[in-house]
Amino acid sequence: MQPGYRKVTNSVASIGNSTGFMNQSNVVDLIEQMSTQEEFYEIEPAQVVKCHLDPKDKDFPIGANGNVDLSMLGAVTVSLKYSQPTGEVLDELAKPLSPHIIQYPIIGEVVNVASYLGQLYYFNPLNLFGKVNMNRVPFSKGDGKPYEQLTKFNRKIYCEQGDTVIQGRFGQSIHFGSDSNFVQPFMKLTVGQSKSSNNITAKKFNENLAHVEDVNLDEANIYITNNGHIPLRNASPSQMLSKNLGGNLSSVISLNADSVSLNAKGFGDVSSPGGDIFGFADRNINLSAQTSINLETENGTVNLGTYVGDSKAGPAVIGKALKDFLDDMLLANLSFLNEMIEAKEDKDIKGAREKFKKVIQDLRSELASLPRFYSDKVNVPNRKAPPLPEDDLDLEELFSNAEWPELDESVVNKQYEVELVTDPAGVRG
Instruction: Tell me the per-residue pLDDT of 55-87, one tens digit each, with 9 for 90 and over.
Output: 999 999 999 999 999 999 999 999 999 988 888
Residue 29 backbone phi and psi in degrees, to 5: -60, -40
Residue 302 forms beta bridges with which residues?
378
Say whether both 181 and 239 belong to one domain: yes
Task: Give the pLDDT score at 237.
Answer: 86
Task: Give the pLDDT score at 340.
Answer: 84
Say whether both 160 and 85 belong to one domain: no
How many Å apart are CA 117 and CA 265, to the nearest integer?
45
In a domain, 425, yes or no: no
Nearest to 113 by CA among 149, 84, 139, 134: 84
In a domain, 234, yes or no: yes
**How many other β-carbons are positioned within 10 Å of the β-carbon of residue 388?**
11
Start-to-end CA span in the chain (Å): 144
In a domain, 130, yes or no: no
Residue 291 backbone phi and psi in degrees, to 5: -110, -60
How many Å apart are CA 133 and CA 149, to the nearest integer?
10
Say whether both 15 and 66 belong to one domain: yes
Task: Give the pLDDT score at 216.
Answer: 96
Say whether both 120 and 165 belong to one domain: no
Say whether both 112 and 157 belong to one domain: no
Last residue of a domain, one of 256, 283, 308: 256
Say whether both 97 and 12 belong to one domain: yes
How many Å apart are CA 381 and CA 310, to the nearest integer?
8
Task: Give the pLDDT score at 4.
Answer: 67
Say whether both 121 and 159 belong to one domain: no
How many Å apart are CA 210 and CA 325, to the nearest integer?
67
In a domain, 268, yes or no: no
Q: Quick check: 82 and 6 in contact, CB under 8 A?
A: no
Say whether both 163 and 73 belong to one domain: no
In a domain, 139, yes or no: no
In the chain, which residues have pLDDT < 50?
384, 429
Say whether both 12 and 102 belong to one domain: yes
Residue 79 forms beta bridges with which residues?
47
Q: Are strands 119-125 and 94-96 parallel, antiparallel or unpaired?
A: parallel
**220-226 β-sheet, strand order:** 164-167, 172-178, 185-191, 220-226, 251-256
Last residue of a domain, one of 233, 256, 279: 256
Q: What domain count does the chain have?
A: 3
Instruction: Residue 170: give the domain boundaries.
Output: 153-256
Nearest to 132 by CA among 84, 187, 193, 215: 193
Residues sharing a CB contact under 8 Å with residue 77, sequence separation 6 or more, in sequence order:
48, 49, 50, 52, 89, 90, 93
In the chain, pLDDT over 70 holds for what percent of residues?
78
Task: Give the pLDDT score at 387.
Answer: 58
Nearest-5° Cα angle at 309, 306 to 315: 65
Say whether both 304 and 366 belong to one domain: yes
How many Å apart are CA 109 and CA 372, to the nearest integer?
71
In a domain, 118, yes or no: yes
Residues sharing a CB contact under 8 Å with residue 185, sequence separation 6 or more, in sequence order:
176, 177, 178, 179, 225, 226
Say whether both 117 and 157 belong to one domain: no
Nearest to 4 by CA among 121, 123, 114, 116: 114
Could you tell me how many residues make up the chain? 429
Q: Quick check: 44 and 113 in contact, CB under 8 A?
A: yes
In a domain, 410, yes or no: no
In a domain, 83, yes or no: yes
Give the global pTM.
0.71
Say whether both 248 and 336 belong to one domain: no
How many Å apart are CA 78 and CA 137, to the nearest integer?
13
Task: Give the pLDDT score at 328.
Answer: 86
Task: Give the pLDDT score at 68.
Answer: 94
Residue 120 forms beta bridges with which residues?
94, 115
Task: Give the pLDDT score at 197.
Answer: 94
